[in-house]
Structure 1
Amino acid sequence: MSKDIQSSAAKILEGIGGVGNIKFLTCCATRLRFELNDNSIVDKAALDAIPEVMGCVPQSGERYQIVVGGGVATMHSALQQLIENSKASGGADNTKTETKAASNDDVKASLRSSGVRGKVAWVDGFFEYLSDSFRPILGILLGASLIIALCAVLDALHIVDFRGEKSAGWVFVDAMWHSVFYFLPIMVAYNASKKLKVDPWLGAAIMGALMTPDFQKLTSLASTTSIKDATLGTVSHVAHVFGLPMQLNDYSGNVFVPLIMVAVLALVYRFLKKIIPDNLHMVFVPFLSLIIMIPLTAFLIGPLGVWIGTYLGLGLAWLNTHAPFVFAILIPLLYPFLVPLGLHWPLNALMLMNIQTLGYDFIQGPMGVWNFACFGATAGVLLISLREKDATMRQTASGALAAGLFGGISEPSLYGIHLRFKKVYPRLLAGCLAGGVTLAVLSSMYGSVKTQAFAFTSLLTIPVFHPMWIYAVSIAVAFVVPMVLIVLFDYRTAEEKAEHKE
C-alpha cells in the first residue's frame, strides 16, 4: 500500500471526526460508507481537499458517504488498518460506541431499524441480494467486456475475421472472455451464498454440477427425447432420470437460476444446521445440502429460472419490436432514477439473460444513452470548474469523468456531483431524452441497437454495438446536450453557488 494512500486515509479519518466518531464503516463499488456518532463534526472542506476524494455526500441518520472511485477497496483497507492500530494502542475514545469495520448487512440492518432505509425490509433485502450478488464480479465483467471490445475493433477493421474460421490463437483469445460469462452462474452462486451466510463453495458446487460434461452428456443419451418450441424456435431435451423427466438446459451465462437456487439453499442450509449436532456440521450439512439441492435444482429450479428469464426477456423484446421508439426513450429516462436506488440490477440480470437465450441484448444500447448523458453533465461541471478556477470541483469532476468515459462507471459522477446540486438532473434528463430520441429515430430501420456482449458502456466498448454508427451518434448527442446546458445555465442554484463559493 502506497504512502499516498496511507496519508489520504489518515486525512479521511481525521476529517470524519476520528476513530471515536465512527460506528460502522463499509464500502461499496465506489464509496466509503460511514455511520457516525455525530455528522456535525465532519470537516467536509478538509475531506474535499484530499486528492483521492471525488465528493462527499452527507445523509440522514448520521450517515456519510465519501466517493473515491475504483480505488475504494484499497482506501477501505487502509482505513481499517488505521482503526485497528488506533484500537490496539488505546487511541480511540472508549467512552463512545466501539468502532468496527462492519459488513454491508450490519450497516443496512442498523439503518433499517432506525427508519432511515425503506420500511419494507423484504423489498430492501431483495435489491440488496441482487446487488451484492453481482457487485464483487463487476471488475472481471469489465475486463471481459474490454477484451470483447478489442476483438470487435479488429473485426470492424477487417484485421481478423471473427465470424469465419479462426486460428488457434484467436480461439484462445475468445476463451479469455468467454470463461467469465460461461462460468458466471457459479460466480453468482458463490456471491449470493456469501450474502445469505451460506458456505459460498457449497452454492458454487451445486451450480457447477449442472455445468459438468457429465450433465451435458445427458442430451446425447438414447433415452433422451427432444421437443421443438414453435414460439421460441428452440429445441429442448428431456432426459429420464430414474424414471422422472428432467428438462435439460444450457446454464452457462444464466443468472436467474443461481439467484433462485441460493435463496432455497439458504433455507435448507439453516434447517440442517439447526437439526444436526454441531460436531457433525462439517460433514453432514454439505453432504445433505448437495443431496437435496442438486436434484431440486436440476428438476425444478433450473427449468423455472430459465423460463422466468426467457419470458421476461421476450416481454421486453416484444416491446422493443412493437414499440421501439417508446423503448429507446423509456430506458434512458428510467435509469437516472433506478441507479441511485439500486433498482437497475434486475435489468442487468436481464441483459445477461438476453445474451444467453437470444444471442444478443437490446437494453444496453439505450442504457448507454443514460450513461453518456451522465458523463456529459460531469463534463459540463468540469468546464465550469476550469473557468472559475475551482480546484476542488475540478478534481472531483475530472476523476468522475475519467471513471465514466473509460470505465463506464456512473457512481462517482452521480454521488460526487449530480445528487448534490439541484439543477444537474433537469439537464441530465434533457440529454437522456435527446439521446433516446436520436437512437429511436436512427435505429427505426434496423429494429434496435444490439450487442452480443455484456459491456460497460464506455468509449472503449463502442465497437461492440451494432449498428455502431447509430449508437455512437446517439451517445454523442446524449453527452453534448447536458454539457452545453450546464455550461450555459450552470449546475447550481443561486443559493448553492453562494454556499459553494464560501
Structure 2
Amino acid sequence: MDYKGIAQETLAALGGKENVAAAAHCATRLRLVLNDESIVDQAKLDSMEAVKGTFSTGGQFQIIFGSGTVNSVYKEFAQLSELSEMSTKDVKDAGTKKLNPLQRFVKLLSDIFVPIIPAIVAGGLLMGLNNLLTAEDLFISGKSVIEAYPGMADLAALINTFANAAFVFLPILIGFSATQRFGGNPYLGAALGMLMVHPDLLNGWGYGGALVNGEIPVWKIFGYEIEKIGYQGTVLPVLAASYILAKIETSLRKVVPSALDNLLTPLLTIFVTGILTFTLVGPVTRAAGNLLSDGIIWLYDTTGFIGGAVFGLLYAPVVITGMHHSLIAVETQLLADIAKTGGSFIFAIAAMSNIAQGAATLAVLATTKDSKLKGTSSAAGISALLGITEPAMFGINLKMRYPFIGAIIGAGAASAFVTFFKVKAVALGAAGLPGIISIKPGAIVSYIIGMAIAFAVAFITTIILAKREAKKEGRSAGKSAAA
C-alpha cells in the first residue's frame, strides 16, 4: 500500500492541514478534530479504496482504515499535517470543546462508565452463568442443574460470589473513575467508595426492611444522629460524592502549605466529603436514584409493547447523538437493584436495534453491485450482529438513508415483541447475538425470536426500499437522457 499517497489524498479531502485541529488513531480508525466539517469532500473519501467508512460523533470526525493500515496511514498523515504525536485522550479533549452543554454531560457520563464496563460485564456474565446452573426447567424438566447434580452446588455458589463482587462494591469502581474524571485523586475516590460500602454500615439492600422495623443504626454525635447506611450497588450517591471530593481536594491544594499538603489534604478531603455524604448528599441522591428507577420501571410496565416499539424506533437515532452513553448509568442501576427491577430491558432493546442495523447492512450487500460497498457492508453487517454497530450505521446505513429506515422499522417491531414478553438482561454484554448469555434464563427463547424478527423485518424492508430507490434512480436517469 502507498500509505503516503493515502495520507495525502485523505488530507486533501479533509480540506488541507489548515482544517485539521487534532489527530490520533485507535485500533482501526483515524480520529480527527476538524475546524470545519462542512468542507470535507465526502465523495472523495468514499471513493478511496483504503477507506472503509467515515462518521462524525462526539466532536470527532473518524475515518475507518482497518487494523494495521491505520497505524501506517497516521504516521504519514501526522507528518503531512505537521501535527505532533497525540493520544486519543488529547483528541477527545479537543473535540469536547466543540460540543454543546448536553453533549458534554453525556460525554462526561461516558468517560466515567466506559472504563468500568469490563468489570461490570464480567460480573454480569458470571451472574448469567450462575442463572443457567440454578434455573429450573431450562435444561432438565422440573429441576435445575444443581438440583440434578448436587455436587455442582458449591460451584454455582462460587460463581455467584464472583458475579456479585462488582455490584456490591460498585461505588469503589465509580468512585475511582468519577474522581479521576472530575480532576481529583482517583485513589481518594476509591477510598470514598470503600467508605460507602464499609462492613460496619447497614447493607444498603437491607435499608427498606430496617426502616419498616425501626432498626436503622445511627451515629450519635453532639446530639445529632447520622444514619449508618451503606450504598452498595448505587450510582447517583457516589457520582455526586466523587464530584464534591474532587472539588474539595483541588481547592485545598491551593491553600494548604506544600509542606503539609500530603498530610492535611487527603485527611480533610476524606473527612469533609464523608460527613457530607452521610448527612446530606447520600440520602438525597439515594432518594433521587430510587425515584429514577421507579419511574423507568413504571414507564416500562405502563406503556408495554407500544412504549417498547417507540424506544426501539428511537434507539438508533439516540446512538447517533451519542446520548446512549447516558443510559449506561441507568442500566447499571437497574442491574445493581435486580431484585426489584428484574434486570435491564434497555439491553434487550439495544440488542434488537443492533441486529436490525446489521440486517439492513447485509441487505445492502445482497442488493448492491458495487464491489467496494459489498466488501465494506459484509464486514460491517457481521460486526453489527455481534454488537458493534458504528461501521454499519455510520459507514453504510446513514449514508444511504433507506437502510437506516429499514433498520429502525425492524428494531421497533422486535422491541415491541421483547417488551411484550418482558425480556430482560441480568448482565451487560455484547448487545447482539452473543447477548444470549446475558438474558434471564426464562426469556432466552423470546430473545432469540426477537432477534429473528429484527433481522427479518429490517432485511426485507431494506430490500423493498432498495428496489424503490433503484426505480427512482432509473426514472431520474431516463429524464436526464431525454433532456
CA distance in 2, matches of 1:29, 1:237: 51
Q: Within 5 Å, give how 1:39-438 maps onto structure 2.
A: 40=40, 44-45=45-46, 49=50, 53=52, 55-57=53-55, 64-67=61-64, 78=71, 82=75, 91=79, 100-101=86-87, 102-103=89-90, 106-111=93-98, 117-118=99-100, 121=101, 123-154=102-133, 155=135, 156-158=138-140, 160-161=145-146, 167-216=153-202, 227-229=210-212, 237-242=216-221, 243-278=223-258, 280-359=260-339, 361=341, 364-365=344-345, 367-386=347-366, 388=368, 390-406=370-386, 408-438=387-417
CA distance in 2, matches of 1:355, 1:145: 8
* Cα-to-partner distance string for 1:35-61 (whole Å, 9 max, x where unaligned): 2468647862576535xx4x2126899
Change (3 A) 1:60 1:318: closer
State the match for 2:458 in structure 1.
Answer: 482
* Cα-to-partner distance string for 1:221-250 (whole Å, 9 max, x where unaligned): xxx997435xxxx98734224353333444
CA distance in 2, matches of 1:247, 1:203: 21
Residue 265 of structure 1 contacts residue 289 of structure 1 at CA under 8 Å; is this kept in 2? Answer: yes
CA distance in 2, matches of 1:304, 1:30: 43
Change (3 A) 1:453 1:241: farther
Change (3 A) 1:413 1:151: farther
Q: Which moves more between the two structures, 339-348 or 25-34?
A: 25-34
Residue 142 of structure 1 contacts residue 455 of structure 1 at CA under 8 Å; is this kept in 2? Answer: yes
* Cα-to-partner distance string for 1:175-211 (whole Å, 9 max, x where unaligned): 3333333333222222222222211111111111122
State the match for 2:479 in structure 1.
Answer: none
* Counterpart secondary structure, 1:329: helix
Once the two structures are TM-superposed, the CA of residue 430 in structure 1 deviates from its matched residue by 1.4
* Cα-to-partner distance string for 1:251-306 (whole Å, 9 max, x where unaligned): 23222222111222232122212222345433332222111112222332222222
Change (3 A) 1:187 1:14: farther
* Counterpart secondary structure, 1:359: helix
Aligned residue type for 2:456 = V
Residue 20 of structure 1 contacts residue 93 of structure 1 at CA under 8 Å; is this kept in 2? Answer: yes
Residue 360 of structure 1 contacts residue 450 of structure 1 at CA under 8 Å; is this kept in 2? Answer: no
* Counterpart secondary structure, 1:419: helix
Change (3 A) 1:412 1:240: same
Residue 30 of structure 1 contacts residue 412 of structure 1 at CA under 8 Å; is this kept in 2? Answer: no
Matched, 1:17 2:17: no
Aligned residue type for 2:116 = I
CA distance in 2, matches of 1:294, 1:303: 13
CA distance in 1, matches of 2:154, 2:323: 42
State the match for 1:33 in structure 2.
Answer: 31
TM-score, with structure 1 as normaliser: 0.75
Residue 109 of structure 2 contacts residue 325 of structure 2 at CA under 8 Å; is this kept in 1? Answer: yes
CA distance in 1, matches of 2:2, 2:343: 39
State the match for 1:457 in structure 2.
Answer: 431
* Percentage of matched positions with identical amino acids: 22
Once the two structures are TM-superposed, the CA of residue 440 in structure 1 deviates from its matched residue by 4.7
Change (3 A) 1:175 1:10: farther
Residue 185 of structure 1 contacts residue 253 of structure 1 at CA under 8 Å; is this kept in 2? Answer: yes
CA distance in 2, matches of 1:32, 1:492: 35
Residue 24 of structure 1 contacts residue 35 of structure 1 at CA under 8 Å; is this kept in 2? Answer: yes
Once the two structures are TM-superposed, the CA of residue 130 in structure 1 deviates from its matched residue by 0.8
CA distance in 2, matches of 1:17, 1:496: 34
Change (3 A) 1:167 1:137: same
Unaligned residue ranges in structure 2 (runs of 5+) = 475-483
* RMSD value, Cα: 4.2
CA distance in 2, matches of 1:136, 1:320: 28
Aligned residue type for 1:291 = F
CA distance in 2, matches of 1:191, 1:492: 49
Q: Which moves more between the two structures, 471-480 or 22-31?
A: 22-31
Residue 362 of structure 2 contacts residue 378 of structure 2 at CA under 8 Å; is this kept in 1? Answer: yes
Q: Which moves more between the two structures, 28-37 or 474-483?
A: 28-37
* Cα-to-partner distance string for 1:411-435 (whole Å, 9 max, x where unaligned): 3332222332222332122112212
Residue 310 of structure 1 contacts residue 353 of structure 1 at CA under 8 Å; is this kept in 2? Answer: no
* Counterpart secondary structure, 2:146: coil
Change (3 A) 1:454 1:35: closer
Q: Which moves more between the two structures, 320-329 or 420-429?
A: 320-329
TM-score, with structure 2 as normaliser: 0.78
CA distance in 2, matches of 1:351, 1:330: 18
* Cα-to-partner distance string for 1:148-193 (whole Å, 9 max, x where unaligned): 4444445532473399976333323233333333333222222222
> Which structure: greater helix fraction?
2
Residue 54 of structure 2 contacts residue 64 of structure 2 at CA under 8 Å; is this kept in 1? Answer: yes
Unaligned residue ranges in structure 1 (runs of 5+) = 1-6, 112-116
